[in-house]
């Protein structure tokens, strides 16, 4: 294909599938059939899903799982998780159970402030602009009152507006940085609408300002958009217990409790020292966080982007969690920015996101922040616990084996035999296939692979 297609978005779904499969699929009929098969059987539901994005031709299914036994601030939750990676839900559930008997997870929201920016260029004396800013600020607030009325009624709205001078870094470049409280909504649309209004109001203010020359009345609004970096919208989750409560776990590994706790703490310290380890360590945290964020209809890209920036807030990328052992008490904590919501956006539209929130007891945003952070901490605890004891491959390979067996269409009997055989053998796709094939050879010696 050497010519761009015009009007792809205007084609109906059937036509899109037809064009796509004819142009790009090795087996157009079978591919089209798969795309059609994964549509939701209820056209009403499918219409809702199609409304989330553009050019939809099918649905991409991910597993929806539950990690039970999460005790957080004294309340018990069964947490919905949407993730395709094996072992993650099992690990979260196991960590939740471990801490259930040790006081559970504790979490507190440290702040809920969200941020937005208007980036603009202005040619003139920076001192003059700064002197005008109190008046500009007033006009920005007044000029967006219609947009902020509802949010103000709910206790939110604009919290602060400041002018930042970046002319040392880029000629004539300034920024209006505004902070917002968006209550239970993630607030992206609200913030972006207000910021765009700020841009218009600023232009108007400068045009009408008597204290400026004609040249100074000209302001160039480059862009107005929220910042996904929200270091003021942060939650802290932690667990703590006397190290003696690691006794049983340590015994299984032939260690004593203090040695195990110290080994765990050392692994967390390593993730604070070395960015290569920190990245993997934090990936483990996001395994849990993203899964709950997805299940509750929140924006996992925003959460990831922000979390990784926060992880290098002192100039080096480090672990988001930390571990201390003081006076025989093991404490493991995670501090992470989570700009999320429990109303609006997909939370109300996606049928399963709505159910997830109901299952969690219809939390407000601070409560959901506590839940999400606790799951991230649980995930991190489970990963590091495995890493410093058995290694993660043991658990991972067990799940991997199940996936390979499914892929090979193994019968219940073949699965049971393989699970037994691979207790002591290394799992790989070819080894599992060879094992299954060896059991499927007919008496005449020919393969009976289905
Ligand atoms: C795998 O998805 C996540 C881990 O690599 C996290 C970690 O190493 O801490 C197990």
Does residue 386's CB lie within 6 angstroms of at least one atom of ligand 1? no
- The answer to whether residue 119 is catalytic is no
Q: Two tokens at 403?
A: 């996936």
Average pLDDT over residues 412-427: 89
Q: How confident is the model over 80-87, as a mean pLDDT?
A: 95
- The pLDDT, as a whole number, for residue 399 is 78
Ligand 1 pocket, mutate which of 269, 284, 288, 323 (most atoms under 8 A from CB): 284
What average pLDDT does range 118-124 have in this prediction?
A: 98
- The residue ranges of every structural domain in the chain are 8-50, 70-110+232-390, 113-227, 396-439
- For residue 181 the two structure tokens come to 């409280």
Q: Is the pLDDT of residue 55 over 70?
A: yes
**The CATH number, out of the four listed (2.10.60.10, 3.40.50.300, 3.40.50.970, 3.90.770.10), of the domain defined by the range 70-110+232-390:** 3.90.770.10
Answer whether residue 444 shows pLDDT above 80.
no
Burial 176-204 (b: 16+ CB within 10 A, else e): bebbbbbbbbbbbebbeebbbbbbebbbe
pLDDT digits (tens, 9 = 90+) for 410-419: 999 999 999 8
Q: Long-range contact list for 381-384, CB < 8 A, 24+ apart?
A: 381/95, 381/98, 381/99, 381/239, 381/332, 382/91, 382/92, 382/94, 382/95, 383/91, 383/281, 383/284, 383/287, 384/264, 384/267, 384/268, 384/281, 384/284
Supply the pLDDT for residue 395. Answer: 73
| Per-residue model confidence (pLDDT) at position 1 | 66
Higher pLDDT: 426 or 123? It is 123
3-state secondary structure of 423: coil
331 lines ligand 1 (CB under 6 A): no
Told to judge if 210 belongs to the known catalytic residues of this protein, a careful annotator would answer no
The pLDDT value recorded for residue 127 is 97
Model confidence pLDDT, tens digit, residues 181-238: 999 999 999 999 999 999 999 999 999 999 999 999 999 999 999 999 999 999 999 9
Q: Does the beta carbon of 383 sit less than 6 angstroms from any atom of ligand 1?
A: yes
Residue 174 has pLDDT above 70, yes or no: yes
3-state class (DSSP) for residue 297: coil
Q: How confident is the model at residue 394 (pLDDT cuts 50, 70, 90)?
A: confident
What is the 3-class SS of 380-393, one letter each residue?
HHHHHHHHCCCCCH
How many whole angstroms separate alpha carbon 382 and alpha carbon 331? 15
Mean pLDDT of the chain, nearest integer: 95
Instruction: Supply the pLDDT for residue 447.
Output: 53
Judging by DSSP bridges, how do beta strands 321-326 and 329-337 pair with one another?
antiparallel
Cα 241 to Cα 106, 260, 327, distances in angstroms: 12, 13, 11
Residue of 181, 299, 333, 367 with catalytic role: 299
Pick the range with the lowest mean pLDDT from 65-69, 72-76, 386-390. Answer: 386-390
User: pLDDT > 70: what percent of the chain?
Assistant: 98
The pLDDT, as a whole number, for residue 425 is 86
As a residue count, the chain comes to: 450
Question: Between 2.40.50.660, 3.40.190.10, 3.50.50.60, 3.30.70.420, what CATH number should domain 113-227 receive?
Answer: 3.30.70.420
Strands 219-227 and 113-122: antiparallel
Share of the chain above pLDDT 90, in %: 90
And the tokens for 385? 């616990």
Which residue among the candidates 85, 145, 220, 437 is catalytic per the annotation?
A: 85
- To the nearest 10 degrees (0 to 180), the angle between helices 393-407 and 88-100 is 140
Rounded Cα distance, 235 and 287, in Å: 17
For 328-360, write each residue's pLDDT tens digit.
Answer: 999 999 999 999 999 998 998 999 999 999 999
The strand pairing partners of 238, in sequence order, are 106, 333
Split at pLDDT 50, 70, 90, the class of 57 is: very high
Residues 176 and 118: beta-carbon distance below 8 Å: yes
For position 448, what pLDDT does the model report? 53
| Residue 350 annotated to the active site | no
Catalytic residue list contains 85 = yes
Q: With a 6 A CB cut-off, is 399 part of the ligand 1 pocket?
A: no
In angstroms, how far is CA 100 from the centroid of its own chain? 24
Residue nearest to atom 2 of ligand 1 (CA): 284
Query: Which sign does the torsion angle of CA 369, 372, 375, 377 carry?
Result: negative
C-alpha–C-alpha distance, residues 282 and 320, integer Å: 6
Query: pLDDT tens-digit profile of 277-331?
Result: 999 999 999 999 999 999 999 999 999 999 999 999 999 999 999 999 999 999 9
pLDDT bucket at 396, cuts 50 / 70 / 90: confident
Predicted confidence at residue 282, as pLDDT, reads: 98
Spatial contact of 166 and 173, defined as CB atoms under 8 Å apart: yes
Enter the pTM of the model: 0.91
Facing residues of 337 across strands? 234
Q: How far does Cα 353 stand from its chain's mean position?
A: 14
In this prediction, residue 400 carries a pLDDT of 83
């Amino acid at each position: 294909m050497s010519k761009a297609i015009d009007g792809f978005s205007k084609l109906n779904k059937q036509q899109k599938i037809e064009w796509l499969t004819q142009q790009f699929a090795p087996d157009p009929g079978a591919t089209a059939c798969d795309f059609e098969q994964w549509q939701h059987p209820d056209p009403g539901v499918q219409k809702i899903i199609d409304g989330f994005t553009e050019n939809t031709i099918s649905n991409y299914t991910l597993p929806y799982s539950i990690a039970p036994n999460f005790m957080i601030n004294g309340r018990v939750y069964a947490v919905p998780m949407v993730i395709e990676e094996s072992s993650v839900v099992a690990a979260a559930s196991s960590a939740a159970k471990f801490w259930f008997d040790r006081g559970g997870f504790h979490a507190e929201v440290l702040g809920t402030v969200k941020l937005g920016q208007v980036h603009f260029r202005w040619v003139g004396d920076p001192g003059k602009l700064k002197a005008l800013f109190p008046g500009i600020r007033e006009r920005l607030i007044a000029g967006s009152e219609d947009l902020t009325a509802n949010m103000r009624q709910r206790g939110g709205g604009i919290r602060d507006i400041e002018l930042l001078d970046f002319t040392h870094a880029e000629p004539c470049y300034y920024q209006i940085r505004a902070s917002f409280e968006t209550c239970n909504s993630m607030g992206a649309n609200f913030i972006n609408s207000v910021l765009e209004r700020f841009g218009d109001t600023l232009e108007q203010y400068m045009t009408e300002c008597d204290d400026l020359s004609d040249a100074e009345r000209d302001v160039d609004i480059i862009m107005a958009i929220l910042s996904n970096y929200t270091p003021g919208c942060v939650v802290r989750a932690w667990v703590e217990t006397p190290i003696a409560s690691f006794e049983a776990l340590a015994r299984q590994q032939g260690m004593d409790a203090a040695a195990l706790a110290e080994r765990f703490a050392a692994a967390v310290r390593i993730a604070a020292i070395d960015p290569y380890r920190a990245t993997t360590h934090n990936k483990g945290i996001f395994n849990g966080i993203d899964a709950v964020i997805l299940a509750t209809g929140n924006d996992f890209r925003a959460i990831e982007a922000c979390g990784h920036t926060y992880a290098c807030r002192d100039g080096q990328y480090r672990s988001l969690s930390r571990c201390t052992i003081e006076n025989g008490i093991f404490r493991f904590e995670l501090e992470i920015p989570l700009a999320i919501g429990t109303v609006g956006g997909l939370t109300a539209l996606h049928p399963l996101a709505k159910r997830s929130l109901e299952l969690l007891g219809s939390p407000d945003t601070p409560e959901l922040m506590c839940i999400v952070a606790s799951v991230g901490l649980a995930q991190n605890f489970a990963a590091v616990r495995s890493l410093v004891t058995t290694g993660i491959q043991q658990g991972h390979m067990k799940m991997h084996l199940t996936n390979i067996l499914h892929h090979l269409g193994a019968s219940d009997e073949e699965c049971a035999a393989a699970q037994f055989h691979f207790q002591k053998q290394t799992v790989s796709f070819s080894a599992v296939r060879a094992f299954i094939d060896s059991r499927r050879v007919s008496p005449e010696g020919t393969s009976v692979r289905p």
